[in-house]
Amino acid sequence: MINAPIARKDTGADPYRWLEARGSSEVLEHLRAENAYLESQLNDLDLRELLFQEIKARIRETDLSLPTPWGDYLYYQRTTAGDEYPRHYRCPRPANGSLNIDETAEQLLLDPNELAAGGFLSLGAFSISPDQQRLAYSLDTSGDEIYRLFVKELSDGKIDELPFENCDGSMTWANDSHTLFYGELDETHRPSTLHRYRLGETASTQVFHEPDERFFLSCYRSSSERQLIVLLGSKTTSECWVLGADTPEQPFQCLAPREEGHEYYADHGKLDDQWAWLIRSNQAGINFALYSAPPQQPTRPHWQERVAHDDRVMLEGVSLAESALVLSLREGGLPIIEVRPRGLAGYRVALPDAAYSLYVQDNLEFTSPVVRLRYEALNRPAQIRQLNLADGTQQVLKETPVLGEFDADNYVSQRLWATTEDGTQVPISLVARRDALGQAAPLYLYGYGAYGESLDPWFSHARLSLLDRGVVFAIAHVRGGGELGEAWYRAGKLEHKQNSFGDFIACAEHLIAEGFTNPSQLAISGGSAGGLLIGATLNQRPDLFAAAIAEVPFVDVLNTMLNPELPLTVTEYDEWGNPNEPDVHERIKGYAPYENVSAQAYPAILAVAGYNDSRVQYWEAAKWVARLRELKTDSNLLLLKTDLEAGHGGMSGRYQALRDVALEYAFLLKVLGLRSAS
């Protein structure tokens, strides 16, 4: 049996800082030793293989995506059993308006399997030119989110790699189909500069540079495809610049100069049969309102209110079609789609479940009378629904298949509410087999709670391997997320961050008090900023849990935020605060997981890191585990897995990802004493 690796401890305030020496032989040796120790502890390879095969058996390995019509073609993806990545195709669009694919006339656009050659691959941009003669795409082959740019001539298959470095992966076409805009990263890995490039030339022209390190730059085409939009955004403020897509050589025009705290987002479409700018802005309140402006006078003085601010309803987004506005709202912790057809009464989309995930997946073409919605619940596989904008009728075009013995009625989805110490009601989404309810059972509680992101319920083929072993799955929708609107987000950031941890603990206590589980059967999990949630919660209430999984966990918060040379640090000040300010320093130090590890018993822990991760550095998990090994007083499993060829999202291939899930589930089942399906 391999012994647990003990990291060398230096003197000073941060005794494990030496683990930050990326590329040093000592660091790599330590990470490999941790990986070997993990393999020795999770050496039940039969269980891992059983789980992998179970999960894989539920997935239709050879499948075809729903075709998307655009111009003269249908665009779609095809997955083939044994391949890690889907291939991208197109075929001529049928004259009768159907979505029937003509395989005899299909054209292979891109094969990521060939490009990956067995290694890591992440496809960034996949952008067809407006004349449909070229494909612009970008590739990350290490997981560090630095991309190489390519343009493929679809007439003869000729591929040119563009001679630019430090690219963020974005590629946006102008309407001449010869001009591309792409983004460049600065030394802190921030998208900061926009370049214009004309095919065939040897150099590009800098169009924009954003010097403020809090702001990210992005460029996109409007829904109408008549405008290009540059968005400069921090966590609290944004600014939009616009340019006609037919005149890419002209300068961009600012819609509204940035003001601290003013967030707004622009799109271009039709309103009352006239071209107009549509702007979603929080100038009237934190839940946003919608404004319009004429094309000739798009600047802020000419904005006219179209959808008023509502204290109870968050306006999360707006999708534009020629015949309707589609509003993405959030009310009572749930997503809602509201449609306002031109000249007709508005309506909300009707749905069958009490807790669910719903969003506009595809607007299709601007002139299309329909949009596509993606809908799923904890016990219902994802559906692509076609919504007729004029009358609200829906058609399920595709439901993600679950192969083998699966009956959604065997699983129950519930919405619960936990009460915190300050009286706040925190929603919990839960799913279980019917026969697992009514008694204390193993329970897997997941959380995130940052950046205003909403963790809406989702279906998982893999999760069935837990549910069928009697494990209950739940999501704690803690403050810091966006599930209950902007106020919910603000109540879990900066000086209110402790609310996220308190909410998560309250949810765990509620599930125990209501008889769903007990501390000896309760496992928790979160990733990235959700890893911070897990780390802080473990320090504050380790007695509540039997196991924890922290994926690419942001646990070395204080040291990271004190280092402005690290990627993304300065832009994160609006989320966590600037620890160079004494009061902020003490606040972050008070909850940072790494600093607050203490001599107490902890549950079994699995931490997962990506060596090439540019968002959460690999050493955060490595240092945290080293300090836990030093101080914890128990003999429970403590494991660190570092993917030495992956980044923030883990391994890139679909089978590789399933094996990662199988490993994590094997850890949980080992700790909880489970193996066979019920």
In the set 613, 643, 652, 660, the catalytic residue is 613
Q: Which of 192, 238, 413, 528 is catalytic?
A: 528
Strand order across the beta sheet in which 314-321 lies: 314-321, 324-331, 334-341, 347-348
Report the candidate in 389, 395, 329, 393 with the shortest Cα–Cα distance to residue 365.
Answer: 389
Residues 6+ apart with CB under 8 A from 2: 36, 37, 40
Measured between alpha carbons, how far is 621 from 594 in angstroms, rounded to an integer? 9
Sheet holding 216-221, edge to edge: 216-221, 227-233, 238-244, 253-254
Strands 274-281 and 264-271: antiparallel
d(CA 276, CA 271): 6
Residues 6+ apart with CB under 8 A from 356: 334, 335, 375, 376, 377, 380, 456, 457
For residue 559, give both structure tokens. Answer: 């040291």
* Catalytic residue check, 503: no
Closest by CA to 406, choosing from 484, 446, 463, is 463
613 is catalytic: yes
Q: Decide: 139 and 150 in contact? Cβ < 8 Å.
A: yes
The end-to-end CA distance of the chain, in Å, is 32
Q: What is d(CA 261, CA 242) in angstroms, rounded to the nearest whole number?
A: 21
| β-bridge pairing 314-321 and 394-399 | unpaired
DSSP 310: B
Catalytic residue among 189, 292, 648, 652: 648
Which residues does 98 contact at the CB level (< 8 Å), separation at least 6? Answer: none
**Residue 583, exposed/middle/buried by CB under 10 A (0-12, 13-18, 19+)?**
exposed
188: which residues sit within 8 A by CB, 6+ positions away? 213, 564, 565, 566, 567, 568, 569, 570
Three-class DSSP category at 608: strand
Is 528 designated active site? yes
Amino acid at 108: L
Helices (H), 515-594: 529-540, 557-561, 573-576, 582-591
Question: Which residues belong to the active site?
Answer: 528, 613, 648
